[in-house]
Amino acid sequence: MGKQQTLRRFAFVALTTLGLVAGARAEPYAGPLFDTHLHYNEEAVGPYPLADVLGRMQRSGVRAIVANSRPNDGTRALASALDQTRAAGVTVVPFVRLYRNRADYNGWFKDESIHTMVLEQLAAGTPAGPFRGIGEFHLYESANANGAVARKLMQLAQAKGLAVLAHVDDDAIDLLLAHAPEARLIWAHTGIGGAPVARVRALLLKYPKLMGELSYRPDLTDANGHLSAEWRTLMLEFPGRFLVGSDTWVNARWDSYETLMTQARLWLGDLPPAVAKGIAWGNAAALFGLGEPVESKNKRP
Provide the binding-site residues for Zn ion, judged by CB under 5 A: 136, 247, 249
The smaller minimum CB distance to Zn ion, of residues 231 and 249, is found at 249
- For residue 249, the minimal CB distance to Zn ion (Å) is 4
The smaller minimum CB distance to Zn ion, of residues 216 and 288, is found at 216
The smaller minimum CB distance to Zn ion, of residues 97 and 277, is found at 97
Chain-centroid distance, C-alpha 2: 52
- For residue 138, the minimal CB distance to Zn ion (Å) is 8
Q: Which of 291, 296, 293, 281 is nearest to 86 (CA)?
A: 296
The smaller minimum CB distance to Zn ion, of residues 60 and 246, is found at 246
The smaller minimum CB distance to Zn ion, of residues 70 and 76, is found at 70
- For residue 38, the minimal CB distance to Zn ion (Å) is 8
| Amino acid, single-letter form, for residue 62 | V
The C-alpha atoms of residue 48 and residue 39 are separated, in whole angstroms, by: 12
- For residue 290, the minimal CB distance to Zn ion (Å) is 21
